[in-house]
Structure 1
Amino acid sequence: MSRPAGRVLTLLELLQSGGTRTVAELADRLGVEGRTVRRYVDQLIDLDVPVESVRGRYGGYRLGPGYRLPPLMFSDDEALSVLLGLIAGRRAGLTTDTTASETATAKIRRVLPPHIARRLDTLLDALAFTDRPAAGDTPDAGILLTLADAVRHHRPVSIRYTDRDGRRTERTLHAYGVVAHAGRWYVTGADARLGEDRTFRLDRIADARTLPGSFEAPADSDPAQRVISGFATAAYRHEVTLRIHGTAEQIRAQLPASVAQIEDDEPVAGELGAAPATERWLRVELRAERLDWLPSVLAALDRPFVIERPDELRDLVTALADRLAASARRT
């Protein structure tokens, strides 16, 4: 579908949502000029869509009373793709409402031809997931859409947020993007009052409303990367510093960017100017609520390492080594 045709359909969807839409509002939502909106309206009228022009201070366009879009028609493959998307999204926790996802699935299945329904049932019987269903709370659909609109149009948004300690605050956020990660939804951006980057879980946002004005997002505002980096630098109970001899790729296999930060350690003899893929001593920093999972991860790395802090981690690694040695001596 060409972009102009897609915008005409988007215009129809906006008018279908009800009320009168101003030319300025439609132009902003479609990313075009006002005269282009008028041309799109003419195209809808040529297709016998009853678009009415409303004059006056609050004028614009609206659909004539009683007009509704015809029902969606899916091909067999399209229906199967939509159903699989609903099932996978619900399994991964990336839906805003579990009941809505289930009812949407049921509605589509009811109108599937029998042979396609049988194929789908066969697929679902054979389908298995390697992960457990996400246990996190789902975000409110209205909040999700409000934040997405603020990202799209670079508008400040006011949110009421409850952190993990139960503290409630109201913040003004310059949102750079909405990110789905590991079964949860996040919004990342700049806290306007603090002037610092922040990442918030959507299920902890009680309310979101768009504010007047606009902001400029930084050129390097990769939302997904900001969320992942935020996990690695968040405040946790333990701060861990390691030196590991290897390549960044070898370390990332066990300690991804969402868990740890990697930086070059002091160059060692014979390695000054070494290529990035050359094994060398790298400093690794991470934060964790618990340390009991780290000894097995370090063992799985199978690389020389030094624990700089905390002492508790040294004790856990020594205990694991003793257990492994004792098991190896058994006959």
Structure 2
Amino acid sequence: MTTAAPAVEAAGLTKTYPGGVRALDGMGVTVAAGTVFGLLGPNGAGKSTTVKILTTLARPDSGTALVAGHDALRHPDRVRRAIGVVAQKSGADPVATGRENLLLQGRLYGRRGPEVGRRADELLERFDLADAGRRLVRTYSGGMQRRLDVALGLMHRPQVLFLDEPTTGLDPEARTAMWEEIARLAGEEGLTIVLTTHYLEEADRLAERIAIVDRGRVVAEGTPDELKGELHGDAVHVELGDTPDEVDARLLATALGEFAAVREVAVDGRRLSARADDGPAAVPHVLAVLEQQGAAVASVTVARPSLDDVYLRYAGRRFADADSGTGASTGGGTGGPGGTDVEPAAPAAGRAGAR
């Protein structure tokens, strides 16, 4: 039985921007053909830099990248013909109609004749834009623009579609509609999709495999269920109240760590997290230890493992704190190297065209 070659294969990618900002630090991913692969991480984790390298819009300082069987560094032109790109910012011309944008995209990829018009009309219909196809894009809502961006990326029938934060800025209804379309693309057409997102629910719902990215490297990889399944038992989250300054987070973590039923203790500011085989049974003991340490408690929750808990375990801090660039954790997890990863804005969507 012959195993299909991976649609994307990258290894050892490093990238340092001017000023010494290390965006990628040995980044590597392998994406099976016909799957949705999620790059999950906070803003600045290195996701967009990775996508720019894989889509030939940037070169790494070191490492290798194969996309659709082509070397992205040696043969970028071949890669561009095999991929579709939907970047964070819309690449559609606002003073052209939706249909005109699609026709231009097709011609950029060398398509000519009646087939280009048929493909444009097909995509307008598919993305519920048929009635708006002859309207100027500047009159579109945010959700309509995002659907047009995806249609632009599909105009030339790519083998691999890169979606870089495809639902950022969309309202819940538009986001749900985009999720449904992405699932349809993967399920009905067998398209390989590389999805970067900082929405935990989006990655959990859409991606067959996820790579959690933190500070320019992959810290965990697997299916959503595999990653959550590694965290046996329950997650116990405590919101600390007006705790006196003299209460040391490290002492709290150490004191709780001595309790056999609790493990993987982490403290981020006023938030304490731990794991327990039986969360409800552990809560009274956790509260007793916190009271002994002089720590006031505002609330306690017990939940099944989530991707946020997975991120906390491997990155050493909560996803929301990493996304905002704040938070310092104690205990639990192995953080990456220090520093802030700053990525330049991604280029316009769908304009990686054939050159």
TM-score (norm 2): 0.23
TM-score (norm 1): 0.24
Give the structure with higher Rg (CA).
Answer: 1
Which fold has the larger relative contact order, with Cα–Cα distance below 8 Å and residues 6 or more apart in sequence? 2
